[in-house]
């Protein structure tokens, strides 16, 4: 059914055409609540061109409107804005359609569109750190949004599984005589990595052996490859534990995947005349990119020793994603520190003629740092920034304490499940609800508050909605088969209009990729629901059926919204 905003845009554009013969898209936007529901600002612009009084242009637009019965009030304000207030009858009929729409009023895509969301992307032999956690949470949410809107989404984990650092790790593993059939954990691997690094820095002979292992690995020597595969497998098991706890799915396609393409990519760029040699390194100079001194900033694609780098891999990746995956939209989620890198990759891909912005859209979704309550870079209890699993388990533990305070004899099995849903949900929600480009402060106490913009408050609201339906005890499908929503009370109208705006919020989110649009929306939804429930009796009232259906629609929108955020719900709390 699409959004009301697009519907109004269409109607007002028609009205512009029939009044003035102009084919322009009407400028419609949501209003501040006290002025009505939507406003149209087109009269002012039209009046300029037509050299007419904007208020009389506005009046003509209103006169030519086909759908006057949708509104209880249409007002010209100020120099020529038009304010629209939807009538309760129209709004009610919209909600009665919305509840039957599988997309709940959002607009899914009408053809198959391939899309890549690349996120998480940790590095082998290193544990995920909080930055990777943010990438995982934000990326998963963005992927869920587009999956809901029926895009064909490929979720890629661009793992850092290649590079010269593997040489020293392999040399160390050989030196220690570790067997690849042996069981090892990610923390052990990290320990070896640190030890190998130390050996590398201190012992020139070890350094030589490490460099030799790099060459062996690059020429696919079976022994080096076997050890490398083992290292990757151990790492993978470590990450998987975290993805499982978070409920996140990812397809692993690490940097090594693009190895076979690196040489060709550099060759192609050279053939296109884009490459210049500077200090022995092959570089691409792109317009508009300068360093701090104002000198042209190169994108290095092959180092002077002939080695390829992070940028070469990313160029191969974007090329592969456009031509092999046939992606029409590509989103990469990393810390905001990499934003210049991605702007340069996108610009280079455009210059190479691979990326045509008419056909594909690319976005780097950057995010800020995670800070501890002290305002410094976040550290877990053990003092190591890397122990991500501890951080998640700690959140679950905090949630458990909170539940026990309220309900000391909670049943152990339920307690366990509820603590996990609340704890993990709280971590995700705290991240998603802060504007992603800013640094955000991590605090267990704040994220687990019952009041305010938190996961706990939303999950509690959901439980309350379930409770109302349980208490009334009617079969909701039966009620819906014989009754309709009929809004009357101002709190009902306010909740109803907010419900109908679900699709608008998802459209906004898909455009700028800020998940906090959705959290803000759900928070207001919960508040409006609580106001409605305070002001309007449901059980045993004359309006019982209508209000029950309104609750059901609220429940569905809230559930769908939480599911896009990656939050599970519970029936009781």
> Which residues of this chain interact with ligand ARG, rule CB under 6 A?
118, 121-123, 158, 160, 314, 317, 332, 334
| Least distance in angstroms from the C-beta of 122 to ligand ARG | 6
Can you tell me the distance from the alpha carbon of 455 to that of 399, in angstroms, rounded to the nearest whole number?
Answer: 11
Whose Cβ is closer to ligand ARG: residue 38's or residue 162's?
Answer: 162
Residue-wise burial string across 497-524, b where 16 or more C-beta atoms lie within 10 A, e elsewhere: bbbbbbbbbbbbbbeebbbbbbbebbbb
| Least distance in angstroms from the C-beta of 258 to ligand ARG | 10
Whose Cβ is closer to ligand ARG: residue 197's or residue 530's?
Answer: 197
What is residue 301's DSSP assignment? E
Question: What's the Cα-to-Cα distance from 251 to each of 229, 389, 571, rounded to whole Å?
Answer: 17, 20, 31
Can you tell me the distance from the alpha carbon of 405 to that of 396, in angstroms, rounded to the nearest whole number?
Answer: 14
Whose Cβ is closer to ligand ARG: residue 54's or residue 122's?
Answer: 122
Helix (H) or strand (E) holding 118: strand 114-118
Whose Cβ is closer to ligand ARG: residue 41's or residue 385's?
Answer: 385
Whose Cβ is closer to ligand ARG: residue 26's or residue 317's?
Answer: 317
| Least distance in angstroms from the C-beta of 345 to ligand ARG | 8
**Close Cβ partners of 120 (under 8 Å, ≥ 6 residues apart):** 128, 132, 135, 136, 139, 157, 239, 243, 248, 250, 333
| Least distance in angstroms from the C-beta of 500 to ligand ARG | 38
Can you tell me the distance from the alpha carbon of 76 to that of 64, in angstroms, rounded to the nearest whole number?
Answer: 15
Whose Cβ is closer to ligand ARG: residue 285's or residue 320's?
Answer: 320
Please give the backbone phi and psi of residue 13, each rounded to the nearest 5 degrees, phi first. -65, -40
What is the rounded end-to-end Cα distance, in angstroms, of the chain?
35
Please give the backbone phi and psi of residue 252, each rounded to the nearest 5 degrees, phi first. -80, 120
**Close Cβ partners of 8 (under 8 Å, ≥ 6 residues apart):** 26, 28, 38, 40, 84
Question: What's the Cα-to-Cα distance from 385 to each of 283, 310, 403, rounded to whole Å?
Answer: 35, 24, 28
CB atoms within 10 A of CB 460: 18
| Least distance in angstroms from the C-beta of 154 to ligand ARG | 14
Whose Cβ is closer to ligand ARG: residue 62's or residue 317's?
Answer: 317
Q: Which two tokens stand for residue 308?
A: 């390829």
Whose Cβ is closer to ligand ARG: residue 156's or residue 479's?
Answer: 156
| Least distance in angstroms from the C-beta of 267 to ligand ARG | 21
| Least distance in angstroms from the C-beta of 259 to ligand ARG | 14
**Close Cβ partners of 334 (under 8 Å, ≥ 6 residues apart):** 121, 131, 135, 342, 364, 365, 366, 367
Whose Cβ is closer to ligand ARG: residue 334's or residue 433's?
Answer: 334
| Least distance in angstroms from the C-beta of 254 to ligand ARG | 9
Q: Which residues pair with 212 in a beta bridge?
A: none
| Least distance in angstroms from the C-beta of 484 to ligand ARG | 50
Q: Which residues pair with 156 in a beta bridge?
A: 118, 251
Q: Are 491 and 532 in contact (CB under 8 A)?
A: yes
| Least distance in angstroms from the C-beta of 517 to ligand ARG | 24
Can you tell me the distance from the alpha carbon of 246 to that of 181, in angstroms, rounded to the nearest whole number?
Answer: 29
CB atoms within 10 A of CB 480: 18
| Least distance in angstroms from the C-beta of 387 to ligand ARG | 16
What is residue 31's DSSP assignment? P
| Least distance in angstroms from the C-beta of 321 to ligand ARG | 10
CA dihedral 9, 10, 14, 16 (to 10 degrees): 10
Helix (H) or strand (E) holding 197: helix 186-202
DSSP string, 318-366: HHHHHHTS--SEEEEEEEGGGHHHHHHHHHHHHHTT---TTT-EEEEEE
Whose Cβ is closer to ligand ARG: residue 283's or residue 345's?
Answer: 345
Whose Cβ is closer to ligand ARG: residue 188's or residue 335's?
Answer: 335
| Least distance in angstroms from the C-beta of 426 to ligand ARG | 25
| Least distance in angstroms from the C-beta of 123 to ligand ARG | 5
């Amino acid at each position: 059914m699409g959004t009301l905003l697009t519907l109004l845009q269409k109607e007002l554009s028609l009205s512009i055409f029939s009044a003035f013969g102009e084919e322009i898209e009407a400028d419609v936007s949501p209003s501040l609540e006290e002025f009505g529901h939507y406003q149209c600002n087109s009269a002012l612009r039209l009046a300029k061109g037509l050299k007419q009084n904007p208020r009389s242009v506005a009046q003509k637009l209103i006169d030519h409107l086909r759908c006057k019965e949708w509104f209880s009030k249409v007002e010209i304000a100020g120099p020529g804005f038009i304010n629209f207030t939807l009538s309760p009858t129209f709004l009610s009929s919209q909600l009665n359609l919305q509840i039957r729409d599988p997309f709940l009023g959002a607009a899914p895509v009408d053809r198959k569109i391939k899309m890549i969301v690349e996120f998480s992307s940790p590095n082998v032999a290193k544990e995920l750190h909080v930055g990777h956690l943010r990438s995982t949470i934000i990326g998963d949410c963005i992927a869920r949004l587009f999956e809901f809107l029926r895009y064909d989404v490929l979720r890629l984990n661009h793992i850092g599984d290649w590079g010269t650092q593997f040489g020293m790790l392999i040399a160390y593993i050989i030196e220690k005589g570790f067997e690849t059939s042996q069981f090892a954990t990610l923390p052990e691997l990290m320990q070896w990595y640190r030890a190998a690094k130390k050996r590398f820095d201190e012992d020139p002979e070890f350094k030589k052996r490490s460099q030799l292992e790099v060459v062996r690995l690059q020429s696919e020597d079976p022994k080096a490859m076997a050890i490398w595969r083992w290292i990757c497998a151990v790492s993978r098991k470590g990450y998987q534990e975290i993805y499982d706890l978070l409920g996140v799915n990812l397809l692993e396609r690490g940097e090594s995947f693009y190895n076979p393409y690196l040489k060709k990519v550099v060759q192609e760029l050279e053939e296109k005349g884009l490459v210049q040699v500077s200090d022995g390194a092959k570089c691409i100079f792109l317009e508009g990119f300068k360093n701090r001194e104002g000198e042209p900033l190169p994108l290095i694609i092959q180092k002077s020793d002939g080695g390829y780098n992070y940028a070469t891999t990313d160029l191969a990746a974007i090329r592969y994603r456009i031509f092999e995956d046939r992606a029409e939209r590509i989103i990469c989620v990393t810390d905001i520190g990499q934003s210049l890198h991605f702007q340069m990759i996108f610009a280079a891909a455009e210059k190479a003629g691979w990326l045509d912005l008419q056909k594909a859209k690319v976005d780097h979704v950057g995010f800020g740092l995670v800070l501890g309550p002290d305002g410094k870079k976040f550290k877990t209890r053990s003092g190591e920034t890397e122990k991500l699993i501890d951080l998640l388990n700690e959140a679950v533990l905090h949630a458990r304490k909170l539940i026990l305070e309220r309900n000391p004899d909670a049943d152990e099995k339920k307690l366990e499940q509820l603590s996990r849903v609340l704890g993990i949900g709280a971590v995700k929600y705290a991240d998603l609800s802060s504007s992603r480009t800013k640094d955000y402060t991590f605090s267990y106490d704040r994220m687990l508050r019952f009041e305010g913009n938190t996961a706990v408050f939303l999950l509690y609201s959901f439980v309350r909605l379930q409770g109302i339906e349980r208490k009334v005890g009617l079969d909701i499908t039966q009620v819906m088969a014989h009754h309709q929503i009929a809004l009357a009370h101002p709190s009902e109208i306010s909740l109803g209009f907010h419900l109908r705006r679900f699709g608008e919020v998802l459209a906004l989110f898909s455009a700028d990729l800020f998940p906090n649009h959705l959290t803000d929306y759900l928070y207001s939804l919960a508040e409006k629901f609580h106001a409605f429930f305070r002001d309007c009796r449901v059980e045993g009232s004359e309006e019982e059926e209508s209000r029950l259906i309104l609750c059901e629609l609220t429940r569905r929108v809230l559930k769908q919204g939480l599911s896009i955020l990656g939050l599970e719900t519970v029936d009781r709390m």
